[in-house]
A = this chain, B = another copy of it.
Amino acid sequence: MKTKLSSLTVYALGFVLVFSSLATAQQTDPLPSWNDGKTKQSIIDFVNTVTTHDSPGFVSAHDRIATFDNDGTLWAEQPMYTQLAFAIDRVKELAPQHPEWKTEEPFASLLNGDVKGAMAGGMKSVVQIIMATHAGMTTEEFETIVKDWIATAKHPVTKRPYTEMVYQPMLELLAYLRANEFKTFIVSGGGIEFMRPWTEKVYGIPPEQVVGSSIKTKFEILDGEAVLVRLPELNFIDDKEGKPVGINSHIGLRPIAAFGNSDGDLEMLQYATSGTGVRFGLIVHHTDAKREWAYDRKSSIGHLDKALDAAPENGWTVVDMKQDWKVIYPMEKQ
């Protein structure tokens, strides 16, 4: 075999190799819907660090736990939380069986289309609506109700199915992390059993990797079949300081990366990023009034104030949705 190459040949070969690796890198960009820049680079640097065996920041696959908020982080939460839209539709559907709701708040206002009026009672009203619509059936009956609703309900502004109102860049991020042997979890203030029926199909996240708020359930034998009945009683609120508690209860490991968009995610971000070793925190900042919504410190939905202030000192990445995302929703992809 001829092994000696002229220096020109070596030069030319090197040239070809550099170009072909560039081409490969472009071909396999794991985050094609993210504009190039420091936000995208911070994600890629983190993943490279924790997955490079010789790196001092290497983390074994066992500990590659990433937790994601849902409302406002993985899908749209404006002009109202999707689960509230679900509850309102349920109130309307159940109204014929509850003639007393015609005069009873918060139901009367809801049935008159006055959501703001229904919410005037604050947390008490929310709990009343949740209990009236989410309890009193078996867990499997509730699953069917959610599946049927999510398959047909439409977003009030865009008229699209809610499961299409998910963020394409975040879907790519979930897939990128899993391709690098991360386990991805949802950790949401939303109802755990409201999310589980569709998260695997939409996000690739199976039911046991969903953490959320819950009401109590009770084991019963009904007509010879063992079932769990949903009770009108709060069990756990997976929000704010509840998120690390929910993470510990369901996962049992401290995440090395956390992704959120509001003050409800502050404690989760603190918990994930204050452990030893390399850590990653990210806040989705809704800055795009044209393609999505723009809101933060003054919004009651997705209120982002303290967590935004805490980001620089903690080294968290803040996504400027308008600048950093090429597309918002999957249907905008070319």
Contacts and interface: CB of A to CB of B under 8 A. Distances in A.
Contacts of A217: 245, 248-249
Interface in A47-72: 62
Contacts of A196: 252
Contact of A219 (B206, B224, B244, B250): B244
A254 B217 CA distance: 14
A175 B218 CA distance: 32
B249 A214 contact: yes
Interface in A227-266: 228, 241-242, 244-245, 248-254
A200 interface: yes
A200 B62 contact: yes
A207 interface: yes
Contact of A267 (B140, B192, B226, B271): B226
A83 interface: no
B226 A271 contact: yes
A316 to B, nearest CB: 13
A221 interface: yes
Given A62-B200, A226-B267, A244-B226, A252 B221 contact: no
Nearest to A245: B217
Interface residues of A, number: 37
B228 A248 contact: yes
A102 interface: no
Contacts of A254: 140
A254 B141 CA distance: 13
Contacts of A78: none
Given A226-B267, A244-B226, A192 B274 contact: no
Nearest to A217: B245
Contacts of A242: 219
Nearest to A243: B219
Interface of A: 62, 139-140, 183, 192-193, 196, 200, 206-210, 214, 217-219, 221, 224-226, 228, 241-242, 244-245, 248-254, 267, 270-271, 274
The 7 closest A-B pairs by CB, nearest first: A207-B252, A219-B241, A226-B270, A226-B274, A226-B271, A196-B252, A219-B244
28 contacts: A62-B206, A140-B254, A183-B208, A196-B252, A207-B251, A207-B252, A207-B253, A208-B208, A208-B209, A208-B251, A208-B252, A208-B253, A214-B249, A217-B245, A217-B249, A218-B245, A219-B241, A219-B242, A219-B244, A219-B245, A224-B274, A226-B267, A226-B270, A226-B271, A226-B274, A228-B244, A228-B245, A250-B250
